[in-house]
């Protein structure tokens, strides 16, 4: 049983999760300080020196501190938005590294007879034909690798 626990604990996902929890805890402290020490004082300055963290109402002997709750909601929204941006960036980097994201696309607008505009995604050409030997070559080539003829840079045959 100890061996199985050791294998489970040493798997990559568990270690990644542990690191994420530790970094998340530290990040939460930073965001809490941002909200408590910078954002909320700025808001209270604008709204007439109201300290939102101390807002509360009393029902009988119980004090309901809704100001602290509002501050916690602001903390959560900032953390959630930050995590969203990080995940979005990491997913884009993964897609780029796997080649799933195509960056050589053109947008072509087609106007039909009835005036309706239709947008169509068209692949940007990556090759061209050499006008001398009619071989297919890279579009950025300045000299044909087959016949060694010099090509014009703006030529897209």
Strand partners, 136: 129
pTM, to two decimals = 0.47
Q: What percent of the chain has pLDDT over 90?
A: 0
Q: How far apart are CA 82 and CA 121, in angstroms?
A: 32
Quote helix, strand, coil % in the chain, to nearest 5: 50, 20, 30
Residues 92 and 115 grouped into a single domain: no
pLDDT tens per residue across span 15-31: 777 878 888 888 888 88
Question: Would you tell me how many other CB atoms lie within 10 Å of the CB of residue 83?
Answer: 13
Q: How far apart are CA 5 and CA 104, in angstroms?
A: 48
CATH number for the domain including 14? 1.10.1200.120
> According to the model, what pLDDT value does residue 156 have?
44
> According to the model, what pLDDT value does residue 157 have?
44
**Cβ-based neighbours of 79, under 8 Å, separated by 6 or more:** 27, 28, 31
Residues 84 and 113 grouped into a single domain: no
Q: How far apart are CA 51 and CA 71, in angstroms?
A: 11
pLDDT tens per residue across span 88-147: 888 888 777 765 554 555 556 666 667 676 666 666 777 888 888 888 888 888 888 888
pLDDT tens per residue across span 66-77: 888 888 898 888
- In the chain, the number of structural domains is 2
Are the C-beta atoms of residues 137 and 121 closer than 8 Å to each other?
no
From 98, 115, 145, give the residue that closes a domain: 98
User: What does the pLDDT average to over 23-43?
Assistant: 85
Residues 53 and 28 grouped into a single domain: yes
From 52, 83, 98, give the residue that closes a domain: 98
Residue span of the structural domain in which 43 resides = 2-98
Residues 17 and 93 grouped into a single domain: yes
Are the C-beta atoms of residues 148 and 133 closer than 8 Å to each other?
no
> According to the model, what pLDDT value does residue 28 have?
85
Residues 89 and 37 grouped into a single domain: yes
């Amino acid at each position: 049983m100890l061996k199985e626990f050791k294998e489970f604990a040493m798997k990559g996902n568990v270690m990644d999760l542990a690191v994420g929890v530790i970094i998340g805890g530290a990040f939460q402290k930073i965001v809490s300080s941002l909200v408590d020490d910078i954002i909320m004082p700025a808001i209270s300055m604008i709204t007439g020196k109201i300290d939102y963290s101390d807002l509360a109402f009393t029902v009988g002997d119980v004090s309901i501190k809704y100001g602290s709750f509002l501050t916690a909601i602001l903390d959560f929204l900032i953390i959630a938005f930050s995590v969203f941006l990080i995940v979005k960036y990491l997913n884009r980097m993964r897609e780029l590294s796997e080649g799933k994201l195509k960056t050589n696309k053109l947008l072509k607008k087609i106007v039909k007879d009835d005036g309706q505009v239709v947008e169509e995604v068209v692949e940007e050409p990556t090759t061209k034909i050499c006008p001398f030997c009619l071989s297919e070559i890279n579009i950025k080539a300045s000299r044909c690798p087959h016949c060694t003829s010099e090509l014009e840079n703006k030529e897209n045959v």
